[in-house]
Amino acid sequence: MLFSGGCNDYTIKTTISPDGSFERTIVCDGDSLGLRYLHLPYVFDSSWSIGIEHGTEKGFTTTAKKTYINSDQLMAEFSQGRDSAKLQISCRVEKHFRWFFTYYTYTETLPSFSIYRHEPIDSFFTPTEIDLIKEDKDSLLSKRVDEFWFRNIIDEFIERIQARARELNDPALPPSAFANQKEPLIEALIKDVNAKPDDIARIVERNLRPRPVKRLQGAMDTIFTNITKEIKSEAELDFSYKNEVSMPGILLTSNSKKIEGNQVFWDSRSNRYFDVVMSAESRMVNLWAIIVTSIVCLVLIIGLLLPLIHRVR
């Protein structure tokens, strides 16, 4: 869920101006305090214009607006608002002058939010399967995706136990014991996904016999608790991202599935393993450049024709 405070729905709107500046609007429906719980790195200070409308269909609608000179200013704000509880999005708005035309490019990226990355996803899935996972077109793969996610969690669990074993420096419980039994441990823990801390300790002890695993009981309890908290924090970064962008001039290209004139719309979700990229490009005609070029050409033509006219006379 995006808003732990109860905001039911939100939309990001961006209107890009011909000079390259843009207005960013965040609309939150359902909770007058919803912006406080936004898991995105915005810094809502006095530079924002924030208004609350009462009595809407969902109770409240909170609207926050701010104009940015360029995307560097927005990224500087994001750098101030970064923390582990926020999705570290990036946004670039660029203007390219090409005499007769000015081109505008917009790119916004929701980075993958997985906090455990011990195994690369392409080591577990084929390129074809990865494409299907990205498009969410094969429900049969969801079980294997869950298994891949769980394997990475167990990898993190084992790595932290190994670190604790190094601190104990017990010859009877070397860190290599966990590394050597890593696969059996993973398989055993996957079979019992609802295992409690005591159950996990027994599974580890069963796979590492005759090692004195009980010496790590307290450490395993702490590691289990910490990883559980981290998983909950990670889950909050899985949310829908409604995005609307108005491009200046004529829209040329976009990876959006919904386009209306020079407006593009995305209704995406953040992804645990893959970056979500939204992009668009537009073009504006520089009338002044055409007029200047026409005048210069006319002057040149007249300059070339005058000697011929004089000769004819």
Task: State pLDDT tens for residues 153-178.
Answer: 988 988 898 898 888 888 888 888 88
Q: Is the model's pLDDT at 193 over the cut of 70?
A: no
End-to-end CA distance of the chain: 85
Per-residue pLDDT tens digits for 40-73 = 889 888 999 988 887 666 567 888 999 999 999 9
pLDDT reported for residue 183: 83
Question: Residue 227 in contact with residue 262, Cβ under 8 Å?
Answer: no
Cα–Cα distance, 103 to 94 (Å, whole number) = 8
The pLDDT confidence band at residue 33, using thresholds 50, 70 and 90, is low
Structure tokens at 46: 């006095």
CB atoms within 10 A of CB 153: 20
The pLDDT confidence band at residue 101, using thresholds 50, 70 and 90, is very high
65: left (phi over 0), alpha (psi -120 to 50) or beta: beta
Give me the half-sphere count of Cα atoms (radius 13 Å) on the Cβ side of residue 168. 20
For residue 173, which amino acid is it? L
Q: Is the model's pLDDT at 184 over the cut of 70?
A: yes
Cα–Cα distance, 102 to 104 (Å, whole number) = 7
Query: DSSP character for 9?
Result: E
Name which of 43, 45, 31, 42 is nearest 3 in CA terms. 31
Structure tokens at 61: 């609608």
Task: Give the position of tokens 């990355």.
Answer: 117
Q: Which residues contact 201 (CB under 8 A, 6 or more apart)?
A: 213, 214, 216, 217, 220, 221
Cα–Cα distance, 20 to 248 (Å, whole number) = 9
Q: How far is CA 190 from CA 92, 195, 230, in A?
A: 41, 9, 19
Output the DSSP codes for 147-160: HHHHHHHHHHHHHH
Q: Is the model's pLDDT at 192 over the cut of 90?
A: no
pLDDT reported for residue 2: 30
Per-residue pLDDT tens digits for 198-219 = 777 788 888 887 778 888 888 8
The pLDDT confidence band at residue 74, using thresholds 50, 70 and 90, is very high
Of 119-133, 138-152, 183-197, 240-254, the range with the lowest mean pLDDT is: 183-197
pTM of the model: 0.81
Q: Which residue has the higher pLDDT, 137 or 43?
A: 43
Tell me what the mean pLDDT of segment 278-284 comes to.
96
Tell me what the mean pLDDT of segment 104-127 comes to.
92
Cα–Cα distance, 197 to 236 (Å, whole number) = 23
Tell me what the mean pLDDT of segment 28-40 comes to.
73
Name which of 152, 182, 139, 137 is nearest 273 in CA terms. 152
pLDDT reported for residue 104: 97
Question: Residue 82 in contact with residue 256, Cβ under 8 Å?
Answer: no
